Amino acid sequence: MPTKTFVLNADDAPQPMASSAPPNLEKYRKELNAAQFEAVTTTEGALLVVAGAGTGKTKTLTYRVGYLIESGVAPQSILLLTFTRRAAEEMLNRAATVVDARCARVEGGTFHAYAHKLLRQYGAAINLAENFIVLDQADAEDAIEIVRTALGFHKKEKRFPKKNALLRIVSAAANKQLPIERIVETSYPQFFPILDDIQRLADAYRDYKRANSLLDYDDLLAELKRLLTEREALRQTIASQLRYVMVDEYQDTNLVQADLVALLSSVHGNVMAVGDDAQSIYSFRGANFRNILDFPKRFPNAKIIKLEENYRSTERILALTNVVINQAKEKFAKNLYTTLKLGGEFPAIVAAPDERYQSRFVAQRILELREEGVPLHRIAVLMRNGRDSYDLEIELKKRNLPFVKYGGQKIIEAAHIKDFVAHLRILYNPRDALSWNRALRLLEGIGPKTTQELVAWIKTAPNPYRIETANVSPRYADSLRRLGTLLGELSQKLFPLSSLAESLWDYYKPILRRVYYEDFPKREKDLENFLGIVANYDSLATLLSDLALEPIDLSAMETKATVKDEAPLTLSTIHSAKGLEWQVVFLINALDGVIPSRYAVGETESLDEELRLLYVALTRARDLLYICYPVICNGAEDYFGNPSRFLQALPEDLYEKLLLVDARSVQKPLNAPPAALPARRDEELPF
């Protein structure tokens, strides 16, 4: 047989839409409603899709990716920006099942991760160090603390703001593109008298980052913007590769991100934003829901499509959530409807006598639901604050109910993990002052002062690993030599990562036991788990940037180790539950002061955001919704809790009220129905 040649198209060669078989439109028409279909097939130009909760926003994005791919667009020329990496992965995997595996190769991820990727590739053009380090929030705070001390603010001024407040100010200025002065003036008036000092600190922090090749989260976005603005040729190169740009959760983008979207789509002009102004809940990160309203101004020819038919929740749940969101001071024209899920169970408001009862109620109800055939993974418990579920977690463990928790403290934020990672970072960049700072302070007898001297020495030393030759008291020579020699040796042999980590663990273990002697067993277990994660990586660079950009969830990891065959129940902060849905949703601690947070009460804007947050929580539910709060709250002193003010205003025919009765005591309600929430139908739950 004669040999034939087969020409493979270059992966990134732009392929004319007409060249491949056109997508089967009938398939799309059948599986999407009219508005969704239009959003999927409108591929050219600017498009804004305003999609209410549960209206098939994810489905639309997924099918649109599939549609583009089927039309012959190369996956690499599509960019899908999402709020979490999880969201991007899920969408692309789903698209892959709708169309084919090419979908998984679409560019995607968070703004920060994508910015990071581009900066690694092109950062040299704007003079970024090749091995720059990404600071997560805790690292950024550490850096601020160092600067704060160096400037003497810890001594000089009484009540000089602490590192987290300072970072919040600096970050708000970056995200909102406003001068520090404006941020302090409007959000931190109590610091206005020391504005000059705060400004000095912000400048010093900027210089410190620059001197040490550090980028915090805000810098990732700001530097990418700088690159795209100041390097015209690069903007051309990058943007011409991106034929289609899609942005999910656009209501939670900030100004810098909106600028980036415009820059990245500036060559082809095909940009689609999807979002819901009623679900904007990230203003503390500089997001502004008005961005979504400004989209048509930024892209004057933008087409706008609204998705209003809800496919998720029952009619009764929708009736309640529609009323909830209409309490917003800044009104949204929003009225979701359903034609499929008429009727349904009434949402329930559960006044538990106290937090223990609340936990018992939730746990028992979950067990019953499981008996009735609802799989655990279709149930979620949501809360305002990560710590609101501590009591419930104990109850769930007691009853052997497996769960995963999202939100709350991240493992990477734990001090002992940070210590360990600091050593890894030194290996990556031997002049990383921040990490040396951390590693040195762990040595016995070495405190802030000596550390400062050592770090100053490291900056100019020909070989930072010869740290024992630094000019400090000889009494530290031994421990310094041990650290320096170990790191020096390891730096010659970075692979495999697992054995590198093992050697470091041998070194760090005794330190951990000494420094955290009260609770070292638990911390050791964390680290062992962490070593397992490290072993999955084959590059130090990837590991370190992943740690900053996709923090691993502590409890998610914990349960993974002990997972049973059953897919677990979800516990999640409302913020982390964004975009997801469950058949049954419990909202716990729906107290005034919790949601709305007591810190939000007072300003209309932040109060509205809390309302939207409640709206997001309630709209996660498909069939059953329980809103719980304890009547007696245990604090330093016990007090009577009030249900969220947003619930108190609801018409009583929209929900039913559950009273909890303890089977062990006499069969009568333990709590009188509060006057504000008259019972629609009382129901007794024997325990």
Partner DNA sequence: CAGACGACATTTTTT
Partner DNA sequence: ATGTCGTCTG
Q: Which residues bind to DNA, rule: CB under 7 A?
A: 83-84, 110-113, 136-137, 141, 154-155, 158, 162-165, 217, 281-282, 284-285, 384-387, 406-408, 415, 441, 444-451, 549, 551, 573, 575-576, 597, 599-600, 606, 636
Check if the beta carbon of residue 571 is closer than 8 Å to that of residue 393: yes
Closer residue to DNA (CB): 22 or 448 = 448
**Total residues found in the chain within this entry:** 687
Q: How far apart are CA 363 and CA 374, in angstroms?
A: 14
Dist CA 665 CA 661 (whole Å): 8
| Separation of alpha carbons 192 and 184, rounded Å | 6
Strand partners of residue 306: 50
User: CB of 657 within 8 A of CB of 676?
Assistant: no
Helix (H, G, I), strand (E, B) or coil at 320: helix
Closest CA to 446 of 416, 480, 414: 480
> Among residues 369, 657, 680, 411, which one has the least CA distance to residue 533?
411
Burial class of 405 by CB neighbour count within 10 A (0 to 12, 13 to 18, 19+): buried
Residue 112 sits at φ, ψ, to 5 deg, of -65, -45
Q: How far is the CB of 138 from DNA (least distance, A)?
A: 9
Angstrom CA distances, 268 to 62, 227, 236, 487, stand at 21, 19, 10, 49
Partners of residue 274 on adjacent β-strands: 49
Q: Report how far apart, in Å, the C-alpha atoms of 143 and of each of 137, 437, 516 are.
A: 10, 10, 23
Strands 582-587 and 379-383: parallel
Contact, 596 vs 584, CB < 8 A? no
Tokens of 504: 């470091």
Q: In the complex, what is the shortest distance from the CB of residue 519 to DNA, in angstroms, rounded to a whole number?
A: 8
Rounded CA separation 54/165 (Å): 36
- In contact, 79 and 55? CB cutoff 8 Å: no
- Which C-beta is closer to DNA: that of 390 or that of 687? 390
Cα(34)–Cα(36) distance, integer angstroms: 6
Q: Least distance in Å: CB of 518 to DNA?
A: 10
Amino acid at 246: M
Q: What is the DSSP letter of 411?
A: G
Q: Which contacts qualify for 295-301: CB closer than 8 Å, 24 or more apart?
A: 295/46, 295/48, 295/250, 296/48, 298/258, 298/262, 299/46, 299/48, 299/262, 299/271, 301/45, 301/46
CB of 399 vs DNA, minimal distance in Å? 22
How near is the Cβ of 586 to DNA at its closest, in Å?
17
Q: 3-state DSSP call for residue 547?
A: helix
Minimum gap (Å) between residue 550 Cβ and DNA: 7
* Residue at token pair 């000092």: 197
Q: Output 83 or 289, the one with its CB closest to DNA.
A: 83
Asked if residue 540 lies in contact with residue 497, where contact means CB atoms within 8 angstroms, the answer is yes
**Nearest approach, Cβ of residue 439 and DNA (Å):** 13
For residue 111, the minimal CB distance to DNA (Å) is 7
DSSP letter, residue 125: G
Residues 150, 434 contacting (CB under 8 angstroms): no
Q: How far is the CB of 480 from DNA (least distance, A)?
A: 12
CA distance 624 to 313: 9
Taking alpha carbons only, the member of 184, 219, 189, 215 closest to residue 201 is 184
The answer to whether 443 and 480 have CB atoms below 8 angstroms apart is yes
